[in-house]
Chains A and B, each alone.
Chain A
Amino acid sequence: MNDLLAGCETAIRLILTADPEVLNITIRTLQITSSSVGISAIFAIPLGAVITFRNFYGKRLLISIIQTLYALPTVIVGLLCYMILSRSGPLGELKWLFTPYGMVFGQTILIIPIMTGLTIAALQGIDPGITDTIRSLGASHLQFLKTHLREARFAIMAAIIVGFSRAISEVGTAVMIGGNIKGHTRVLTTAISLQTSMGNFSLSLALGIILLAIALIINLFMSFLQNR
């Protein structure tokens, strides 16, 4: 109980005093996570739309595989990305290992299935009458997709929120690809992990509270957008 109270107290103090190290880690966390979410959205939303509206052999199987990948362990993604980005890996020449770029790469791989799957669910949830109406109004292929995405925008926004939450809270990929290098690849989750292993429970808790506060602010912002 004392640790909890101390953690809350430390979190408030760190926020109020704008501790440079915590601020630095928080900004980096936000940069990496929002980059991953942005890149994932660029791929996942059109991919989800194409899978929803195209009929092809093995479509159901593909959707099941995508849904299975929601449960992808972060350490497995970390390991795979490590192998891909290591010097001898297929993308070794990019030299992204132990860089924020590598961490964005890893998180993107991690959340693309979630965002794709939830986009598919969002589009499949649209009333078939809407699809018929769009077609009967003479929409082109692009207009057809854009109108559907607009119609499912609240559910797709929820997919983005889930992707963001998954990315900001994961630690496996961040540690394995980023390496938790101070001032370079250290993010909130890896810092929490490090502080916990060093026995600084109150600082770990404080960082956890900051992480949750960020997630809360992002969620409130998204809810605000949804309600507009």
Chain B
Amino acid sequence: MIEIHNITKAFDGNLVVTGVSETIQKGEIFTIIGPSGQGKTTLLRILGLLERPTSGEVLLDGISVTGLPASDPNRRRIGMVFQNPVVFKDSVFHNIAIGLRYRGLPKEEIRKKVLQKLHEIGLSGYEHRNATTLSGGEKQRVSLARVMVTGPDVLILDEPTANLDPVSTEVIEDLIRYYNRVYNTTVILSTHDMIQGQRLADRVAVMMNGRFVQSGTIFTIFTRPCSVDVAKFIGIGNIIPGTIIRNEEGLSVILTHGSLIHAIGTFPVGTKVKIAIRPEEITIHTGPDRFSSARNVIAGTIEKIMPIGIISRVSVKSGDLILLAQVTWQSVRELDLRPGDRVYLSFKVPSVHIMPDEP
């Protein structure tokens, strides 16, 4: 178990990490997501003991590891892989063996462990190759194996696939999952790729302005963002201001740009709020749908249709309210959707998330 106690880091008086606290359980994959420049790398460098916090400490199974010398046995229980693949100007074998050599293991044991790791990362037979001649993805696999061969309890990865192609990214993600499941290694990973967070994480924290603004399961973060900034970051296309005008039977009715939207909420009447609705949750009809169970139905006119790969985003205007709906390219053709068409948008009450209206 790794405990982060009120970590703060300032560079030249500028706070980069502000009072971050969290407990990460043994064997958990904990992902930190957030835009670039929000302190993710600095926090990970503190957890990887490459940077000393200005205040606070990191505990590993109850033992403070902050400030320990690099060769301390407890310090050596934490391994780190960086964004840019790092290899030494040496053979692949030497690259993977180096951490074991630091630990003074016998040659034969080193050889056995290195060959096993080469097999795990799919680079058997590469041991004599010069590591600098490998591709970016292969180098990152070597970087991962170099850490994992030392058997760390905690694996820290700072945007490990940020510079890799999709195929290499998938290989690295598979390896991360493999090491987590087979060796029960605790994984702390940062990424600005939300989908990667979704694919890998047991739990996610969103880091903004040097602090964890929200943490929880990926489902919570993706469906119940705590703020407009988080909602924007996770890609919720519709974030609309409104006012609670009524609360009835556990539902709030929100007035937004002249339209009424129903949502589950507990904000008092009169509260100014922001509502978030994923375009994927909105269904588009060319006429009123009598069979739909959706409570929210808004009639409007198509403003524009924006194709994004095999899907299309349809912008619909209803009075001053503009909503984005997401449909497949096939649906656009079948419904013969065109700008200027009159359509009906429907979405269910749980699809609407109410957030406090922040400046």
Contact = CB atoms under 8 A, between A and B. Distances in A.
Contact of B50 (A130, A136, A143, A154): A136
A137 B50 contact: no
Contacts of B80: 132-133, 136
A147 B75 CA distance: 19
Main secondary structure of the interface of B (DSSP, over half): loop
A133 B49 CA distance: 11
Contacts of B21: none
B295 interface: no
A138 B88 contact: no
A127 B86 contact: yes
B264 to A, nearest CB: 46
A203 B345 CA distance: 100
A137 B72 CA distance: 11
A143 B84 contact: no
A133 B89 contact: no
A138 B82 contact: no
Contact of B70 (A129, A130, A138, A150): A138
Contact of B102 (A127, A132, A138, A151): A138
Contacts, number: 58
A123 to B, nearest CB: 14
A17 interface: no
B50 A151 contact: no
B89 A151 contact: yes
A140 interface: yes
A135 B80 CA distance: 10
A137 B147 contact: yes
A137 B82 CA distance: 12
Nearest to B82: A129
Main secondary structure of the interface of A (DSSP, over half): helix
Interface in A104-144: 127, 129-130, 132-133, 135-140, 143-144
Nearest to B45: A132
Contacts of B78: 136
Contacts of A135: 50, 70
Nearest to A130: B86
B71 interface: yes
Contacts of B79: 136-137
A222 B109 CA distance: 34
Contact of A139 (B45, B48, B70, B147): B70
B294 interface: no
B150 interface: yes
Identify which of A137, A139, A151 gathers the most chain B CB atoms within 10 Å of its CB: A137
B99 interface: yes
A137 B86 contact: no
Contacts of A154: 89
A154 B143 CA distance: 22
A130 B85 CA distance: 10
Identify which of B84, B98, B143, B147 gathers the most chain A CB atoms within 10 Å of its CB: B98
Contact of B71 (A127, A140, A150, A151): A140
A130 B78 CA distance: 17
A95 B82 CA distance: 57
Nearest to B88: A151
Contacts of B70: 135, 138-140, 144
A15 B161 CA distance: 61
Contacts of A140: 69-71, 102
Given A137-B147, A138-B99, A129 B84 contact: yes
A150 B102 CA distance: 14
A138 B84 contact: no
Interface string A202-220: 0000000000000000000
A143 B80 CA distance: 18
Nearest to A140: B71
Given A132-B80, A147-B98, A138 B71 contact: yes
B150 A138 contact: yes
B120 to A, nearest CB: 18
A154 B88 CA distance: 13
B181 interface: no
Given A140-B70, A140-B71, A133 B82 contact: yes
B193 to A, nearest CB: 20
A98 to B, nearest CB: 45
A18 B141 CA distance: 57
Contacts of B84: 129
Interface string B132-162: 0000000000010011001000000000000
Contacts of B82: 129, 132-133
Contact of A137 (B45, B89, B90, B102): B102
B76 interface: yes
A138 B82 CA distance: 15
B102 A130 contact: no
Given A129-B86, A130-B86, A139 B50 contact: no
B338 interface: no
A151 B69 CA distance: 22
Given A132-B50, A143-B102, A144-B70, A138 B86 contact: no
Identify which of A129, A138, A147 gathers the most chain B CB atoms within 10 Å of its CB: A138
Contacts of B45: 132
10 contacts: A127-B86, A130-B88, A133-B146, A136-B48, A136-B78, A136-B79, A137-B102, A144-B70, A147-B98, A154-B89
The 5 closest A-B pairs by CB, nearest first: A138-B76, A129-B86, A137-B99, A140-B71, A136-B80
